[in-house]
Amino acid sequence: MGLFDRFRKSVIETEENQELTAEEDSLEAKEAVAKREALAQEAADRERKTQPEPPTTDNQWDEPIDDAEDPFAAPASAKERKIAERRRAASAAEQPEPPTMEDLQSTTGRELVGTSRPGFTVDLGDDSKDRRGRVIKAGKALEAILEELEIELMSADMGHAAVTELISTIRMHLVGARIQRKANVEEVVERAIRRSIISLLEVGYWDFDATVKAQAAKETPVVVMMVGVNGTGKTTTSAKIAKRLSDQGHEVVLAAADTFRAGAIDQLAAHADRLGIRCIRSQRGGDSAAVARDAIESAKAKGDDVVIIDTAGRMQNKSNLMEELRKVHRVTKPHLVIFVADALAGNDAVTQATEFQRMLSFDGAALCKLDTDARGGAALSIAHATGRPIVLAGVGQGYDDLTPFDPQRLIDDILSA
């Protein structure tokens, strides 16, 4: 029996006992409407008091790093370095406000093709009716149903913070809501919850394929930088993206900028050979920024229109290693930064994404291993915690097993489990 099979049974039993809804214009209905207004006011007050900081952007990547100079800059005297430093400081002071995801811009200010949404929404759609219907009541019956939903979502690896906000939002929109007299209450509530969860995954969503195509029409090469912690599947995902874009008619170059591990260089090169795609690499221990820049220059020279940079896995709590990624970002100015997460990691993936976003901003996430027995709650929590959407999903081991992220499919998997 899936989550909503159990959920629907609870709602039916509750409604049969006339505990969930009240007749319009009854005292209970009026109390529910008043409660709805009070919950909305409380939510507005909380939002004003806990206004979140805007998502981090390009400035964060470009903070000066003393020990990470551009390897392509010409040698400078002490005097020239001082002058350059003053110019950088003046430029930083004059920099405009960073773009937010609401503007659908990348970490380097490029346009992201998609539709931005404001956050959780609960829409009763055609089920709602302003007059002569029934009103959903507040009280123990509704709380018992929401508590059951909360437990089920947390068992699906959805983080506590995301679950808490989702349940609060659902409660605020259900209490006092008017529904048609002939509507099945369990179906109304189920549809509302599905819509609310999907809306979470669609906040700030942008289309990966359409964005690459749009950017390639403006300038080439389009640079895609892959980031994430160790062992999440960045190299394989880089190869899958290369195959996907190549099938769409793009000329793709892979950059083996994970110079920390010789195996990673060989692995990416092997993928490139199988796919018939060029791979720019160096020896183990080489400068990853130099490799990335070489790949871009090579793509320009040969007319290739996409460069995918596979970077080394970095533990999000190792600031010195994260600085190397900033260096690659500063040198290449990528059009897109994709964080690769492992669905099997559950809440660990959420922690990694949150810390990564705090230190080095990304534009969207690719969630791997969704074909396994992972419950999928990590996707919900990553989107909630970082304000960045899941844009790609790994659903198998083959090169073609990478698809645009489908919120509806994930919700079906979670709620039917």
Q: Where are the alpha helices (DSSP H) in 279-386?
A: 288-302, 319-332, 347-359, 377-386
Cα-atom radius of gyration of the chain, to the nearest Å?
A: 25
3-state SS assignment for residue 401: coil
Sign for the pseudo-dihedral over CA of 249, 271, 378, 313: negative
Q: Which domains does the chain have, with CATH numbers?
A: 208-416 (3.40.50.300)
d(CA 92, CA 119): 31
What proportion of the chain, given as a percentage, has pLDDT over 90? 25
Q: How far is the CA of 203 from the CAs of 150, 170, 199, 270, in angstroms? A: 21, 16, 6, 37
Q: Can you give the pLDDT at residue 14? A: 63
Per-residue model confidence (pLDDT) at position 97: 39
Closest CA to 219 of 300, 279, 297: 300
Burial class (CB in 10 A: 0-12, 13-18, 19+), 10: middle
Confidence of residue 83 (pLDDT cuts 50, 70, 90): low
Q: In which band, very low, low, confident or very high, does the pLDDT at 101 lie, cut at 50, 70 and 90?
A: very low
178 versus 262: which is more confidently predicted? 178
In this predicted structure, what is the pLDDT of residue 280? 92
Predicted pLDDT of residue 305: 94
The arithmetic mean of pLDDT across residues 364-374, rounded, is 80
Q: Of 11-15, 50-54, 324-328, where does the model show the most confidence?
A: 324-328
Compute the average pLDDT of residues 170-191: 79
Q: How many residues does the chain have?
A: 417
Q: DSSP string spanning 272-304?
A: HHHHT-EEE---TT--HHHHHHHHHHHHHHHT-
Residue 73 in this model has a pLDDT that exceeds 70: no
On the question of pLDDT at 267 being above 70, the answer is yes
Ramachandran sector of residue 68 (left: φ over 0; alpha: ψ -120 to 50; beta: rest): beta
**Roughly how many angstroms between the first and final C-alpha of the chain, as a whole number?**
8
DSSP sequence for 83-125: HHHHHHHHHHHTPPPPP-GGGTB-TTS-B--B----S-----G
In the structure, what pLDDT confidence band is assigned to residue 243 with cuts at 50, 70 and 90? Answer: very high
Positive or negative, the CA dihedral 42, 45, 50, 56 is positive
Average pLDDT in the chain? 77
Mean pLDDT computed over 224-246:
92
Phi and psi at residue 392, to the nearest 5°: -135, 150
The mean pLDDT of 293-304, rounded to a whole number, is 94
Is 367's pLDDT higher than 60? yes
- pLDDT at site 98: 37
pLDDT at 395 over 80: yes
Mean pLDDT calculated for residue range 372-384: 72
| pLDDT (mean) for 127-150 | 76
Find the helix packing angle between 27-49 and 160-174, rounded to 10°.
Answer: 140
Across the range 74-87, mean pLDDT stands at 52
